[in-house]
Structure 1
Amino acid sequence: MTIPIYCCLFLDQSALFPPWKSSHYDVVVGVLSARNNHELRNVIRGTWLKHLLQHPALSQRVLVKFIIGAHGCEVPVEDREDPYSCKLLNITNPVLSQEIEAFSLSEDTSPGLSEDRVVSVSFRVLYPIVITSLGVFYDASDVGFQRNITVKLYQAEQEEALFVARFSPPSCGVQVNKLWYKPVEQFILPESFEGTIVWESQDLQGLVSRNLHKVTVNDGGGVLRVITAGEGALPHEFMEGVEGVAGGFIYTIQEGDALLKNLHSRPRRLIDHISSLQEEDALLKEESSLYDDIVFVDVVDTYRNVPAKLLNFYKWTVETTSFDLLLKTDDDCYIDLEAVFNRIALKKLDGPNFWWGNFRLNWAVDRTGKWQELEYPGPAYPAFACGSGYMISSDIVRWLASNSGRLKTYQGEDVSMGIWMAAIGPKRYQVSTSERVWPQGSVVSRTAVSRSSHRGSVVNESD
């Protein structure tokens, strides 16, 4: 018997959330899936979902939907700032085969003496560079260089400096424009490198510095970006002292020929990518029509948008279905639905305000890499469910849906869920070790095609 499942398609917003509700279900299963994961979805349709649809009792109690972003990213992967978002790597007219001063002052502007003895600036490398020199501003009223200042470059989250330049009256380096520079050991800083330059006065007086908004950033055509905390915002955890500029650095762009070749081929690459997106849209439309088990949510389908995908799906479930529990999982997982219902009965998970999963406590916030988090200010996340899946009661889903327009999304759906849940304090039910044995006792498990990129996941790990 076929379950009456209703799906939406791409263009008409009214089709996303139709005004009617379907039959009541004990459990709604939301399966997060990327647009191009046709194979993984078909594996599910041929295994546990097939078993569900053929089961005389469970087929009436469970609704399964794949959650897919209605829009593909229109920027080719090769032209994005990172593979996790849809932001264009906007490099134009790169400055090649010459040294570039990262910061400069206008002719009629001079840096002023401040009370700050430690000043720092953070930046991100978008295309490989080599820093050749570190520099400090000087006081125009001084004769020669009369200060003792240390300049250090740190990689984000690292305690040991990559290199250091020390300035003193007998060793002040070379004067260029309004700065004194000293050469440093040269390393190639790769794409996605994030660093912080720290100027520290060894004297009693403060540094000669400027506010970031009062200097010109020379980004070489877009190969680096200064990271600022923003007006009134909390400073980044790895920032030292006061945000600002007390000098600068000189750098060169690496692999210039390869960069020019990449930029030259970008228009052709974009045309091919748009064509591929159109083919993907057609395939997804056909797949949805054939299986009737997809919910297209109105977001661009990227890793960074997974929290938004979930919130949109929660809205869909509340507005189109009636249910008691919601189980969220991924498209590389196997679900033993009989075991799920046995656990529900055993644990008496039929009340309001509960959350069942494998929780991580006091998990440190990553400031770099795939799970980079610059929005959450604390050093550790609230408790969050990780791994293959979790289950929540319908009242929590309704709360999430009704507040979806106000809830801030963070770098991942698991930690976002933990932060959101911290506001309402649901009863948490921790999956016990015996419930995570494979295959006996397993409820939700990673399949043999498990992606290693999942946070905290291991092949055949179950929740």
Structure 2
Amino acid sequence: MDKFIILQYIITFGVILIALHLASISLENVELETTSSRPSVFIAIVSSRNHFSSRNSIRKSWIQDIKKYDGIRYKFFVGKKCPIHPLNRIDKYTCTQINITDVGNSENKPQDDSMLKLDNLICRSVSQGVTTLHDAKTCYSGFGFKVFHSLFLTSIGVRFEYFQELENFEIIFRDAEEVFEKIHVFKNDCLNTLNGFCFISLKEKFLLPKDFEGSVVMSHSKEISLNSTKEFCEWNSDSNFFLTFGIIGNLYERYHEGRCSNIIANFSLQDPDAVKDHNNLKAKRNAEWMEEENIIDNDLYKEMKTNDDLVYLHNVIDVYRNLPSKILEVIKWSNGNFPSSYLLKVDDDTNVNIHFLMDWMTQEIKAPRSLTLHSNFHYHREVPMFGKWADFDFQGLTYPPFPSGSGYLLSDRLVYLLSMQAPFMRHFQGEDVSMGIWTQVLRLGQDIVEKKHVSCWLPSASCNQSIIIPEIIPNPAISIER
């Protein structure tokens, strides 16, 4: 090969190497400038719409310490109003309205109603072509329910096959705390049958008060084989006097049409007139509620102009059950507006020890671009069946480790990953539980999320101080609560 050509190759290759080196220097400088110009910590304070005094207390207290550090920013986050009055919802944690049908009155008292639509022959054998078929062998042993208006349980229905194959069994009633009644049933107790169920009249009607939550379950020790017909079950929720929220088998599952229970119940309203009066005032309550919520919206707008630290999330209705959606909106907003090395999520009843937080981060966090979640973690917590924290979507007996709801710290890579995956995330009960489940399965390439338990994250006897102190009591001297 000609020496001149070889020399040209050498010169060209050298120029390319120099160009690549200069480019890498340039990219390093850009990365350093980007990193140094953005805040190292963004604090997202999740707040409720009407918590004006809580937000003001925070502004007057630990937010003042942020000013002593470069690279820390914060915002409060609230959602939009629910247009339904709390008394018109299925519970105060949701924004779902109860739609009650005509209940008659005390002179024209309706007959006992069934929790299954037996009068329409819904629980029956049907053709193989129906898509919601379930094998009778997989029928469930009971169900959980919530009562919207006080009612009496008048009789219990059990599948006829049990009376054929069992000498006796138990029907167990429980509320959110404990078993409150057991009924022993014997073979000759089956007197009236309807659509494959034997109905047993209760000697004393059970009064279930408004907002009662509980379950009815059948218990027996013998394994029996039910017929192998297919069944389609529809629960009688048209009246909306109660809500069937769970079905009980090996696990507690969310109810949906087609899940058949081996046991059902008949009921009657305690006071049809009171239910009718309550229903007639529904529209008036909603109108009055909207007037109050519109006033809160106006006050929030003034607060946003005065303080410039409040973000109104227009995509989320601000109720407890929407907290998983709300926290994902917060993460997406922070990733797009204040990309930081870390995102600290806290509630508006929480005090943050800013000095201890920054000292701890400087000493303990060695890999700023890792995929990590720091907090005080809960382990092996049972999945609740009732109350505010009831969860019918997570299929398991215990949750994976999840962070303290008061606060947790996410690395920038985790914030980015969650913001990208947010549209595909399934929501569970509570944002802390949801965060624990999401981070249990998320991956970024070969990297998994590290859940790092911080011993002095919350107050404890072994710590002189902690990063997070939950449950601030607003100072009335600086309160601007409406």
TM-score, structure 2 as length reference: 0.75
Q: Deviations over 1:417-438 (max 9, x none)?
A: 1111112433333222597359
1:308, 1:218 → 2: CA distance? 30
Q: Deviations over 1:381-430 (max 9, x none)?
A: 11111153111111100000011111111110101111111124333332
Correspondence for 2:185: 166
Correspondence for 1:393: 411
* Kept in 1: contact 2:374–2:451 (CA 8 A): yes
In the alignment, does 2:300 pair up with 1:284?
Answer: yes
In the alignment, does 2:226 pair up with 1:206?
Answer: yes
* Kept in 2: contact 1:152–1:164 (CA 8 A): yes
| Match for residue 260 of structure 2 among 227, 244, 247 | 244
CA deviation after TM superposition for structure 1 residue 264, in Å = 2.0
* Kept in 2: contact 1:354–1:426 (CA 8 A): yes
1:405, 1:48 → 2: CA distance? 34
CA deviation after TM superposition for structure 1 residue 367, in Å = 1.7
Correspondence for 1:122: 143
Q: Which runs of 5+ in 2 are unaligned?
A: 1-34, 127-134, 475-482
Go from structure 1 to structure 2 and tell me whether the alpha carbon gap of 1:428 and 1:247 turns closer, same or farther (over 3 Å shift).
closer
User: What percent identity do the matched residue pairs reach?
Assistant: 24
Correspondence for 1:322: 339
Correspondence for 1:76: 85
Correspondence for 1:429: 452
Correspondence for 1:65: 75
2:243, 2:321 → 1: CA distance? 20
Go from structure 1 to structure 2 and tell me whether the alpha carbon gap of 1:220 and 1:147 turns closer, same or farther (over 3 Å shift).
farther
* Structure 1, 217-226 or 75-84: larger mean CA deviation: 217-226
In the alignment, does 2:45 pair up with 1:31?
Answer: yes
CA deviation after TM superposition for structure 1 residue 312, in Å = 0.8
1:158, 1:287 → 2: CA distance? 42
Helix, strand or coil at the partner of 1:81 = coil
Q: Deviations over 1:152-199 (max 9, x none)?
A: 244378885733252424x43346787543222432223242323438
2:365, 2:195 → 1: CA distance? 73
Correspondence for 1:308: 325
2:55, 2:336 → 1: CA distance? 25
In the alignment, does 2:465 pair up with 1:441?
Answer: yes
Go from structure 1 to structure 2 and tell me whether the alpha carbon gap of 1:94 and 1:123 turns closer, same or farther (over 3 Å shift).
farther
* Kept in 2: contact 1:353–1:395 (CA 8 A): yes
1:434, 1:108 → 2: CA distance? 57
Paired amino acid for 1:323: S
Aligned-residue CA RMSD (Å): 3.7
Q: Deviations over 1:78-102 (max 9, x none)?
A: 1110111111122221366444231
Higher CA-based Rg: 2
* Kept in 2: contact 1:209–1:246 (CA 8 A): no
CA deviation after TM superposition for structure 1 residue 293, in Å = 0.5
Paired amino acid for 1:449: I
Paired amino acid for 2:58: I
* Kept in 1: contact 2:77–2:310 (CA 8 A): yes
Paired amino acid for 1:129: L
Q: Deviations over 1:315-336 (max 9, x none)?
A: 1111112311111111011112
1:324, 1:110 → 2: CA distance? 57
Higher-helix-fraction structure: 2
Paired amino acid for 2:200: K
CA deviation after TM superposition for structure 1 residue 126, in Å = 2.7
2:366, 2:375 → 1: CA distance? 12
Helix, strand or coil at the partner of 2:330 = helix
Correspondence for 1:194: 214
* Kept in 1: contact 2:456–2:467 (CA 8 A): no
Paired amino acid for 2:449: P
1:207, 1:150 → 2: CA distance? 19
CA deviation after TM superposition for structure 1 residue 208, in Å = 10
1:108, 1:407 → 2: CA distance? 38
Helix, strand or coil at the partner of 2:424 = coil
TM-score, structure 1 as length reference: 0.78
Go from structure 1 to structure 2 and tell me whether the alpha carbon gap of 1:203 and 1:373 turns closer, same or farther (over 3 Å shift).
closer
